[in-house]
Structure 1
Amino acid sequence: MFTLEYGTRIWSVVDTPLYQQQAGSHWQKRWRYIRSPLAIIDLLAILPFYLGFFIQADLRYLRVFRLLRVFKLTRYSRAMQLLMNVFKEERYSLFAAFSVLFIIMLVAACAMYTLERDIQPEHFSSIPQAMWWSLVTLTTVGYKLCGGR
């Protein structure tokens, strides 16, 4: 059903007001739509089904792309539109905040690896393990280092 709906949308996109105003042939307009973010998300949502016929591997992890279809709700929900506008307007501030968090996490991980690797080698045997510790420590409250024991 998703494939049928996706194909129908590709075929009929040339009749929407947005694409009627654009120059080019019907096939060029359809190709433009196929390359749009929402169409790519929809393609990623149905692609694992078809890849399963050709590739003999566990493709269940690709199903996570189906969750991206939630962003299609922005068309219908005023609250989702507002949330997306906030993300767009504050993207530089969010990027700066995540960059600072990453730098602090990396510094804390390197410091803990240097200070604790000999005392607790099971928890700080490498910098990536120390990064896990620093990520959990900086983003949660009350985490026990020993796996919740």
Structure 2
Amino acid sequence: MRKPAMAFALALCLTCAVAAAAKVMSVSVRDGQVRETPSFLGKIVGKATYGQSVDVGQEQGDWAKVTLPGGVSGWMHRSALTTGKLALSSGQGTAGGVSGKEMALAGKGFSAEVEADYRRSHGGDFAAVDAMERIKYDPAQLLAFLSQGGIKPQGGAK
């Protein structure tokens, strides 16, 4: 009778230790890409949205292995995650709320003052910013380009 009780207690302690080791983080970018491998060139296996909580398991360099609430698991770059809880409120006195894109920009320091400064210095033209947001690349072409240049991707920004 004593051995089964000890085995149960040990299993319970291990379960608690594993649960304590996992931490919860919040996505701090508008569209968080969850990748199959810890590399910006890894296949995208899921998406996380601004403010969404994810469970973080292991970490490898600048990458964290995350599990989304729906069960999708993969790697996200640490720059897209924060340990703080993100408020998804537009605050008081605002009309109509704010978009997820605006919340993500605010979370990265893009405030009304920064926007006004950019508008002044660029004549109010956001066409260049809009064009950059529309840029898409084919991962296979990018890998070929890197290979031709003798560059070996290492999986994250330094």
TM superposition score normalised by structure 2: 0.24
TM superposition score normalised by structure 1: 0.25
Task: Point out the structure with the larger helix share.
Answer: 1
Tell which has more relative contact order, 1 or 2 (C-alpha 8 A, sep 6+). Answer: 2
